[in-house]
């Protein structure tokens, strides 16, 4: 997996955090820069940390499923992407609050980074520079989360569903690419 692919993977993974950041920004009457930074740090750290956990889980079981690793990556990324697309179509309004205390943020950070855990499992099957990947994923999420708070505070609900839809499409496209490369149908290298 190359640098460009990792970057787009980072963008795709960050879309849940971006959408929640928009909601956090919506709940602020006036932008609170300290809160925006705290939100970005929580999401960035968890989005970077979860693939590490997934990587070690995948490494533990990689010898058992090396023959089907591309199918595992395709299925996981497609399920995650499909769920993001489904969520983007929901009209349900999230319960909003502007709190950034530990209890609130830890729940949000874990919830938005579960998909990164699954992606980390796929890293174990492919030649991925784990440190580079988690750094890119974490930094991209941190930046997009900060931007999400600002956008949410300024523009409202318009971008939340579009962000989740784009993230879902990106993850499914990466899953398809991995599958097609391993079946030797295409070669992007």
Q: What is the pLDDT of residue 156?
A: 60
Residue 188 located in a structural domain: no
Q: Give the whole-angstrom CA distance, residue 54 versus residue 49.
A: 9
Residue 187 located in a structural domain: no
Residue 156 located in a structural domain: yes
DSSP 185: S
Helix (H, G, I), strand (E, B) or coil at 184: coil
DSSP 188: -
Residue-number span of the structural domain to which 98 is assigned = 3-182
Confidence class for position 189, pLDDT limits 50, 70, 90:
low
Residue 189 located in a structural domain: no
Better pLDDT: 21 or 94: 21
Residue 45 in tokens = 């750290």
Percent of the chain with pLDDT over 90: 28
Nearest of 189, 188, 174, 168 to residue 70 by alpha carbon = 174
Nearest of 117, 113, 99 to residue 39 by alpha carbon = 99
- Total residues found in the chain within this entry: 189
Query: What total of structural domains would you count in the chain?
Result: 1
Q: Per mean pLDDT, which range of 6-10, 61-65, 165-169 is the poorest?
A: 61-65
Query: What Cα–Cα distance (Å) separates residue 157 from each residue in 32, 41, 94, 100, 160?
Result: 18, 22, 10, 20, 6
Q: What is the pLDDT of residue 89?
A: 80
Helix (H, G, I), strand (E, B) or coil at 183: coil
Query: What Cα–Cα distance (Å) separates residue 83 from each residue in 21, 35, 64, 86, 125?
Result: 19, 28, 27, 5, 23
Residue 91, pLDDT above cutoff 80: no
Q: What is the pLDDT of residue 141?
A: 97
Q: What is the pLDDT of residue 79?
A: 83
Answer yes or no: pTM beyond 0.85: no
Q: Which helix (H) or strand (E) holds 95?
A: none
Q: What mean pLDDT value characterizes the chain?
A: 83
Q: Give the whole-angstrom CA distance, residue 140 versus residue 144.
A: 6
Burial call 28-43: b when 16+ CB within 10 Å, e when fewer: beeebeebbebbbbbb
For the chain, the distance separating the N- and C-terminal CA atoms, rounded to the nearest angstrom, is 9
Dihedral, CA atoms, 134, 46, 21, 34, nearest 10 degrees? Answer: -100
Q: What is the pLDDT of residue 86?
A: 84
The CATH number assigned to the domain holding 155 equals 1.20.1250
Per-residue pLDDT tens over the stretch 45-87: 999 999 999 999 888 876 676 667 678 778 877 887 787 788 7
Alpha helices in 27-94 (DSSP H): 33-65, 69-89
Q: Which helix (H) or strand (E) holds 99?
A: none
């Amino acid at each position: 997996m190359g640098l460009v692919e990792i970057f787009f993977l980072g963008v795709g993974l960050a879309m849940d955090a971006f959408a929640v950041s928009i909601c956090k920004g919506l709940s602020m009457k006036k932008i609170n820069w300290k809160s925006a930074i705290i939100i970005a740090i929580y999401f960035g750290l968890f989005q970077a940390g979860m693939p590490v956990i997934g990587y070690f889980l995948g490494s533990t079981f990689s010898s058992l499923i090396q023959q089907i690793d591309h199918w595992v990556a395709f299925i996981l990324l497609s399920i995650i992407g499909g769920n993001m697309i489904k969520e983007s179509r929901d009209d349900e309004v999230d319960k909003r609050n502007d709190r950034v205390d530990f209890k609130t943020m830890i729940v949000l950070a874990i919830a938005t980074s579960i998909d990164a855990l699954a992606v980390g499992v796929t890293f174990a099957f492919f030649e991925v520079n784990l440190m580079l990947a988690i750094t890119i994923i974490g930094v991209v999420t941190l930046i997009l989360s900060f931007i999400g708070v600002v956008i949410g505070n300024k523009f409202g609900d318009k971008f939340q569903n579009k962000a989740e839809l784009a993230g879902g499409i990106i993850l499914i496209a990466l899953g398809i690419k991995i599958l097609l490369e391993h079946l030797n149908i295409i070669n992007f290298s």
